[in-house]
C-alpha cells in the first residue's frame, strides 16, 4: 500500500509502509501561495572545501534484481570529499529530467519541472582531492528517494574530513541517470507490497555496498580500515544488513528505518546508532528497534528527535519552500533538523572512525534539547 507522506516541513514524499513505517499525512500542510525560488543547501560546517564526482560501476557477477532484461547490476556512486580548491563550478543537485520525474512522482503542482535541478549545492564538480588518506562513509537513501536527497549531510561530512560514497540503488528511486544517459525509473515500486519485500531490498543493497567497496578506485585517498555506513529509512535498515554481511563496515547508523536483516542470536558487537523520529520510541509503532537493541552487544545509542518526521533526516524540508509547500505545524524546522542530523551523525563517526570521544553522545545536551536518549528516558508514543 502506498501513501503520500508529508515530510519534515511539509514536502510530500512517496513511500511504502513496508519500508519506512511512515507517519500519516499532516492535515495542516499544503501549498503556499508562491514558491520561494531555488533552494540553497546549508553551508558545510567543517574546515575543508568540498569536491564531488560521479562513478559508474557495473557488477557483471549478478543480474539486476528489478529489471529482468538486464544481466548486470549497474550503479551510480557519487563521491564527496575534501577538495584541494575552493573555487569552481558547483555540482548540480540533480538533472532537469530527474527533477521532472521526481516532481511528477511527488504529485507537486504549479512549479516548473526543473525546480529541484536548480537547488544550490556547495560542492565543486570534479574538484581535485586534497589527497589525504581518510575514513570512508557509505550513504544509502530511503526507498524511492534518489541519493541527492542526502546531499546536505554528504557535503557536511566531506567538509569534516571524510570521503563519502553515496549509492543510487538503481530502479529503487524516482530516477537514476546511468553512464550512457539512460534514466532508470522506479521498477521496484511495483513490487513494494510483495511478501518479504523489505528483506529482499536490504539484502540487495548490502550486495551493492560490498560491490562498491570492492570496486572503489585505488586512487581515492581512503583508509579502508575505517569504513562506516549511514542510511535513511530502508537505507538505514540496509546499514544494518551490510554490517551483518560485510565485516569491512565497522560502524553504522540507521536514521528512522525499520530493520529487516536479523542480527545473529549471539549478538553484534560493532558500534551502531539508531537516530529516529517519535515513531521509533521504544514500545511504539516500529518494534524492530526494540528487538535489535537487545542484540547489540557493543557500543550503542538510540536517539529520538522531538518534532522530527520520517523525512527530517533528509533534504526534504530544505526543499519544501522551492516547491511552494508550507511547513506543517509542530514539525522540527528545516534548518534545525539539518543541524541535529549533521551534528549527531558526525559525532558518531568522529568517535568510531577517528577515535575522538564526543561528549554529546554520552548524555543529553542542553544545546540540543530535542534529542532524547532511549530507551531509559523514553516513554512509548
pLDDT tens digits for 82-98?
Answer: 999 888 999 999 999 99
Pair 138, 59: CB distance under 8 Å = no
- Cβ within 8 Å of residue 40, ≥6 positions away: 119, 120
Rounded to two decimals, what is the model's pTM? 0.92
Q: Which CATH number is associated with domain 2-31+39-374?
A: 3.40.50.1820
Indicate if the alpha-carbon torsion angle 217, 218, 220, 222 is positive or negative: positive
Please give the pLDDT value at position 108. 85
pLDDT at residue number 106: 83
pLDDT value at 319 more than 50: yes
| Greater pLDDT, 253 or 20 | 253
User: What is the per-residue pLDDT across 188-202, written as a single tens digit (0 to 9) for each?
Assistant: 998 888 889 999 999
Q: Provide the CB-side half-sphere exposure for 325 (13 A, CA).
A: 30
Q: For position 11, what pLDDT does the model report? A: 43
Region 88-114 average pLDDT:
93
pLDDT at 271: 98
Q: Which of 132, 179, 188 is nearest to 160 (CA)?
A: 132
With cut-offs at 50, 70 and 90, classify the pLDDT of residue 21.
very low
pLDDT, tens digit (0-9, with 9 covering 90-100), for 264-299: 999 999 999 999 999 999 888 779 999 999 999 999
Enumerate residues 6+ apart whose C-beta is below 8 A from 203: 241, 261
Amino acid at each position: 500500500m502506498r501513501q503520500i507522506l508529508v515530510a519534515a516541513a511539509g514536502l510530500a514524499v512517496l513511500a511504502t509502509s513496508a519500508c519506512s513505517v511512515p507517519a500519516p499525512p499532516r492535515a495542516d500542510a499544503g501549498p503556499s501561495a508562491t514558491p520561494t525560488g531555488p533552494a540553497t543547501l546549508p553551508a558545510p560546517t567543517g574546515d575543508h572545501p568540498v569536491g564531488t564526482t560521479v562513478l559508474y560501476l557495473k557488477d557483471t557477477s549478478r543480474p539486476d534484481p528489478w529489471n529482468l532484461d538486464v544481466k548486470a547490476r549497474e550503479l551510480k556512486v557519487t563521491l564527496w570529499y575534501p577538495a584541494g580548491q575552493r573555487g569552481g563550478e558547483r555540482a548540480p543537485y540533480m538533472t532537469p529530467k530527474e527533477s521532472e520525474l521526481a516532481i511528477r512522482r511527488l504529485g507537486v503542482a504549479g512549479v516548473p519541472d526543473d525546480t529541484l535541478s536548480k537547488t544550490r549545492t556547495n560542492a565543486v564538480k570534479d574538484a581535485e582531492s586534497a589527497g589525504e588518506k581518510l575514513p570512508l562513509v557509505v550513504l544509502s537513501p530511503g526507498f524511492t528517494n534518489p541519493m541527492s536527497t542526502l546531499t546536505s549531510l554528504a557535503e557536511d561530512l566531506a567538509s569534516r574530513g571524510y570521503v563519502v560514497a553515496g549509492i543510487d540503488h538503481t530502479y529503487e528511486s524516482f530516477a537514476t541517470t546511468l553512464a550512457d544517459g539512460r534514466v532508470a525509473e522506479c521498477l521496484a515500486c511495483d513490487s513494494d507490497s510483495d511478501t518479504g519485500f523489505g528483506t529482499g531490498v536490504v539484502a540487495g543493497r548490502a550486495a551493492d555496498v560490498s560491490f562498491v567497496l570492492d570496486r572503489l578506485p585505488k586512487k581515492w585517498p581512503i583508509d579502508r580500515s575505517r569504513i562506516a555506513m549511514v542510511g535513511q529509512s530502508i537505507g538505514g535498515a540496509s546499514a544494518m544488513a551490510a554490517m551483518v554481511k560485510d565485516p569491512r563496515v565497522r560502524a553504522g547508523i540507521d536514521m528512522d528505518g525499520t530493520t529487516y536483516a536479523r542480527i545473529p542470536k549471539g549478538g553484534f558487537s560493532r558500534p551502531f546508532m539508531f537516530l529516529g523520529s517519535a515513531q521509533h520510541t521504544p514500545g511504539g509503532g516500529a518494534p524492530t528497534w526494540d528487538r535489535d537493541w537487545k542484540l547489540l552487544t557493543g557500543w550503542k545509542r538510540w536517539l529520538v528527535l522531538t518534532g522530527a518526521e520520517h523525512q527530517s533526516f533528509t533534504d526534504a524540508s530544505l526543499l519544501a519552500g522551492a516547491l511552494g509547500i508550507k511547513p506543517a505545524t509542530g514539525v522540527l524546522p528545516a534548518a534545525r533538523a539539518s543541524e541535529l542530523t549533521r551534528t549527531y551523525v558526525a559525532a558518531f563517526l568522529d568517535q568510531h572512525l577517528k577515535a575522538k570521544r564526543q561528549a554529546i553522545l554520552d548524555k543529553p545536551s542542553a544545546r540540543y534539547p530535542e534529542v532524547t536518549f532511549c530507551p531509559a528516558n523514553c516513554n512509548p508514543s
